[in-house]
Amino acid sequence: MNIEEIKNTIIQGDCLEVMKEIPDGSIDSIITDVPYNTGMSQKNSSGSTWLSHFFDDDYEDSDYQKLVDECVNQFFRILKSDKSLYIYINWKEYPRWYNGLVGGGFKVKACIVWDKMVHGLGSQYKYRHEFIIFAIKGNPKIKQPSELGKYFTDIWAIQRINPQEKQHDTQKVLEVVQTPIMHSTEENDIILDPFLGSGTTAVACKNLHRNFIGIEREEKYCEIARQRLRQNTLL
C-alpha cells in the first residue's frame, strides 16, 4: 500500500487488516476513539427502548484483549520515530490500554481528563469525563499554539457535542480532536484514525491543513464522513 495513494482517503474495512498494509514508519500521529467496551448492545437491552437502539460495544474479554494487543503492535510499527498518539478511552478500559501501550514499546506520558462539562449516562455519579491517553514513540516535541494558551494542563474543559447534532453514537466534538492535532503535528503531516466513525478526525485534519487516513468498517459511517468532508462549512 503506497502511503501517498491513501492520503486523505476513507477506507472501509477492518482496521486490524487494513493497518497491516500501511508501510512501516509512515504515519506522523495516531488520534483515535477506540471501542470503550461498555457492554452496551441490542442483545443486552433487556427491553430498554434506548439501549435497543444503541451501538454494539460489547466484547468478550479475550476478543477485546486481542483488539488492544494487535492495535498497539500496528500503531508502533507504522508510527514514525519521535511521534505521538492519542487514544480516547473510558476509565474501565484505561488500564488495559495503558498496559498494552507500555508493553508494546510506547511511553505513556499523560492521562488527559476531558471534562465534557455536561453529564451523560449513569444512575449513580453520572459520567462527565473521558480519558485521553497521550503516549509517545521516541522523544517528540509538543507545541504550545498561542490560540490554545501559553500553558496547558491535563484537564481539558471542552463541552461535549450537542446530542441532536450527532451522526454517530460516540461522536466527539470537533475541538477535542483539533486540540491534540495542534499540539503534536505540523501542517501536511499524515494522521491516522483507525476507528474513524462519522469522520471527526478527518474533518479536523482538513480544517487544520493536515493529511488524514481514516478506517471505518461501517459503510454508512464512511458515507457520513465523506459528506461532512464535502461540506463548505465544516462541523
Q: For 201-215, how does the pLDDT look when each residue is reduced to its tens digit (9 = 90+)? A: 999 999 999 999 999
Contact 158, 175 (CB under 8 A): yes
| Interval 9-55: pLDDT, tens | 999 999 999 999 999 999 999 999 999 886 655 554 444 443 434 45
What integer pLDDT is reported at residue 1 of this predicted model? 87
Indicate if the pLDDT at residue 150 is higher than 90: no
DSSP string, 4-27: HHHTTEEEES-HHHHGGGSPTT-E
Q: Where are the alpha helices (DSSP H) in the chain?
A: 3-6, 15-18, 61-78, 94-103, 174-184, 200-207, 219-230
pLDDT at 124: 80
Could you say which architecture CATH assigns to the domain 3-230?
Answer: 3-Layer(aba) Sandwich (3.40)
Percent of the chain with pLDDT over 90: 69
The arrangement of strands across the sheet holding 129-137 comes to 9-12, 211-216, 190-193, 27-33, 79-89, 129-137, 107-115, 155-157
Q: How far apart are CA 141 and CA 205, in angstroms?
A: 19
Q: Where are the domains of the chain?
A: 3-230
